[in-house]
Structure 1
Amino acid sequence: MKIFSGWHRFVFGLALIFLLTHLFSVRELHTNSKMEEPPRKQLNKKLNHLVLGPAAGQGLSNRLQCQGTKALNRIHSSNSRSGVDGSITFVTVFTIYNSSLNDVDDKSSNTVVGNASYNKFGRSTALLNVFINFIQVAMPQSKVIILTDPVSDLSVLRNGVSLYPIEGEYSRDKLMLQRIRSYITFLETRLQNLSQKKPKNITHYIFTDSDIAVVDDLGQIFRDHPNFHVALTFRNNKAQPLNSGFIAVRGTPEAILRAKLFLQEVLKVYSTKYRNASRMLGDQLALAWVVKSKPHFDASRFGKALAFSEDIGGTSVVFLPCSLYNWTPPEGAGQFHGMPLDAKVVHFKGSRKRLMLESWNFYSSSLEVSDMLCLILGSGRTKYDF
């Protein structure tokens, strides 16, 4: 009996030692795994300074090649103003919220970019000014119209820039819906003006988000595709192949009318099918539904970065690849493979807003577009503090 009891204690002791050793090993493994996690967490953390990494697309002949912020080749400038019938006006929606105005005297949330310090209100207006700066460098003959809330205390004193107040719901939750409504109202007024007085020259319109940088002349769109009514940008994304941040409209009465009718259909789908996504993405889902629901539309063409045309309910739509006309680091098809040499628009979506200001500051000091694009290409995978 004593022998059995001693043996029992011995076996129990071995089991206890094994259990403690196992628990220690698991704890050590868990600790080591935690030490290896920061790279993943760092990707989701917004930084307050640029982090330059390797530029994608190295070794590809049709991609920008960079050594740090020095471009080893140069982007292909279109020089397309010759041969374009008419002028081009950019149209964007921008408003100031009451909460933004309350932050004017709040220094606690200030952000420093270069030699400037911005509060929340200052960051928004700085981005709007940089948006205008890029347009005026790439397309100095173009004008900018800002559609805004009539009650917004917005003032932009820039040559070639004007405000166009339109009544509506400009709250954050309704802004994407209001943007389409504002586009429709703007097109309606243009139709009325054209019916009353025929201008000597055509004015084409490009509706964009205010967080884009135009880095090349976009007149090529209207020269190379002379018969479209509306131009949309697409990417290889099954659920959201169309991006609403760039919509071009030819300036003829017929094209403006067709664009208005097309956007009215998008608004109807948005308001009925995707109203729960009114804060964001609903407009892109509605665009895709309107286009893909048309009989015989071949959505597989979104998988190739080649422009194509299609009749969508009587509207002639040209589809332009995002890789050229709406390039975003690092989202979208093929964009992990670098920046095409003929990219014309860079879209600083989401958390890349600081990168937009930093890019303009870099360009102002270097005056080299290709070197600035290397800065964007090397920094675009990181989230920043805007």
Structure 2
Amino acid sequence: MRVCSGWRRFLIFLPLIFVLAHFLSVKELHHNSAVEDLPRNKESNKSKSNHLVLGPAAGQGLSNRLQCHGDGNGIKALNHTTHSSRASAAVDSIAVVTVFTIYNSSTSNGHVEDQISNSVTVGNASYTKFERSMAVLNVFINFIQLAMPRSSVVILTDPAADLSIRRNKVTVYPIQGEYSRDKLMLQRIRSYIAFLESRMEELPQNQKHTHYIFTDSDITVVDDLGHIFSEYPNFHLALTFRNNKAQPLNSGFIAVRGTDDGILRAKIFLQKVLKVYQTRYMKASRMLGDQLALAWVVMSHPSFDAKKFTKAKAFVDDIGGASMLFLPCAVYNWTPPEGAGQFHGMPLDVKVVHFKGSRKRLMLESWNFYSSVSNIPDMLCLILKSGRTKYDF
């Protein structure tokens, strides 16, 4: 009887034993899976490719998009872009203005090991963080002087920055302010306003007008932009827009007509943006605050129709007494896609490529590629065929 009762107890608890064993095996499986999902070590997590990996070009088969082909003979554009070689003879001179500063620029700061670990290789060159920033700035200047040889470049910077650039038609213009990383976007608007005020003071002595295009320093100009001021003769300032409800305006490109009225109205408009920035969007001061403020000033105007942002077509509107030209980002502020197939490719008439965020490697790679082929459409194909995760800094 005792033997039978023992077997009976064993049979009663047998299902429970199977359930417990299954639970432990599943728990161990999930634990192992979680461990595999974690990075093996910090070094492997930080390691990034030091060369471009090309993929399919977005927009294949679309007649109004750049068509590219890549084989053993290199990257080639299959159709001609609508870039013109015409100079801006119909307008006065043009200056491209950017805000640029440097951080931790002294090579004496930090250990040699830290400098080596923070270096990155692009092509045949290796850069520290400081060298990388300066390389991007020089490529910015290179493309402007290539596409717009008659133009000049003005770099607005912190007076404390040791920024020595000796390039033809390049001027370094120090402006006092707060250039910390957290306040740089805010300072950029202040620097634009201060620069425009200085231009207003010089206007009576200077009969010849200079038009201004304020841009980020991580853009490449691939076609002459002077036509903006001749084809649209009545605007005071221009912004670039995209079909994005939250952030329809991008602050990386602002054109200002160099007349007394144009400079004055641009200054007043930017002062409004600065005020909105400081009162509404200081929590986004490090990033996006300026773009949110731009959108608020424009879209809060009673007569403005935001539906115009849904079509990539230039238009002019009156905002607070200023005649504003809105240019599509697809042409004047195009950003390389984050993955293959996005944004339907690159328009044939693109004039400005914006290497936002971590796309800086691709900007340097693009200049290196252009230097070897001397062909803008082929270089644009390199940009189009490069996936974002393959070129992050």
* 8 A Cα contact 1:45 1:383, kept in partner: no
Q: Which secondary structure state, in structure 1, belongs to the residue aligned with residue 337 of structure 2? A: coil
Task: After TM superposition, give the deviation of residue 149 of structure 1 in Å.
Answer: 1.1
Q: Look up the match of 2:56.
A: 54
1:127 maps to which of 136, 142, 153: 136
Q: Which secondary structure state, in structure 1, belongs to the residue aligned with residue 349 of structure 2? A: coil
Distance of 1:33 and 1:108 partners within structure 2: 29
Question: Does residue 254 in structure 1 map to residue 261 in structure 2?
Answer: yes
Q: Look up the match of 1:139.
A: 148
Alignment map for 1:191-206 (pairs within 5 Å): 191-195=200-204, 197-199=205-207, 201-206=208-213
Q: Which secondary structure state, in structure 1, belongs to the residue aligned with residue 171 of structure 2? A: strand
Task: After TM superposition, give the deviation of residue 6 of structure 1 in Å.
Answer: 2.6
Alignment map for 1:181-196 (pairs within 5 Å): 181-195=190-204
Distance of 2:164 and 2:387 partners within structure 1: 31
Question: Does residue 359 in structure 1 map to residue 366 in structure 2?
Answer: yes
Moved more, 353-362 or 65-74: 65-74
Distance of 1:107 and 1:147 partners within structure 2: 30
* 8 A Cα contact 2:156 2:191, kept in partner: yes
Q: Which secondary structure state, in structure 2, belongs to the residue aligned with residue 49 of structure 1? A: coil
| Deviation readout 1:85-139 (Å, 9 max, x if unpaired) | 2121100011122466536963332212112111111011110000000111111
- Which sections of structure 2, spanning at least 5 residues, go unmatched? none
Question: Does residue 220 in structure 1 map to residue 230 in structure 2?
Answer: no
2:318 maps to which of 293, 311, 315: 311
Q: Look up the match of 2:273.
A: 266
| Deviation readout 1:270-324 (Å, 9 max, x if unpaired) | 1111112211111111101100111021112212111111111011111111110
Alignment map for 1:18-29 (pairs within 5 Å): 18-21=19-22, 24=25
1:240 maps to which of 237, 240, 247: 247
Q: Look up the match of 1:12.
A: 13
* 8 A Cα contact 1:103 1:120, kept in partner: no
Moved more, 345-354 or 376-385: 376-385
* 8 A Cα contact 1:103 1:119, kept in partner: no
Task: After TM superposition, give the deviation of residue 354 of structure 1 in Å.
Answer: 0.8
Distance of 2:30 and 2:61 partners within structure 1: 39
Q: How many residues align?
A: 380
Distance of 1:350 and 1:100 partners within structure 2: 24
Moved more, 74-83 or 109-118: 74-83
Moved more, 75-84 or 218-227: 75-84
Q: Look up the match of 1:149.
A: 158
Q: Look up the match of 1:293.
A: 300
Distance 1:380 1:257, change over 3 A: farther
Q: Look up the match of 2:93.
A: 87
Moved more, 20-29 or 274-283: 20-29
- Which sections of structure 1, spanning at least 5 residues, go unmatched? none
Q: Look up the match of 2:103.
A: 97
Q: Which secondary structure state, in structure 1, belongs to the residue aligned with residue 272 of structure 2? A: helix
Distance 1:307 1:360, change over 3 A: same
Q: Which secondary structure state, in structure 2, belongs to the residue aligned with residue 382 of structure 1? A: helix
Q: Look up the match of 1:72.
A: 78
* 8 A Cα contact 1:211 1:347, kept in partner: yes
Task: After TM superposition, give the deviation of residue 385 of structure 1 in Å.
Answer: 4.4
Distance of 1:263 and 1:168 partners within structure 2: 16
Tell me how large the CA RMSD over aligned residues is.
2.7
* 8 A Cα contact 1:46 1:351, kept in partner: no
Distance of 1:92 and 1:365 partners within structure 2: 27
Distance 1:143 1:20, change over 3 A: same
| Deviation readout 1:331-356 (Å, 9 max, x if unpaired) | 69x95211111111110010111111
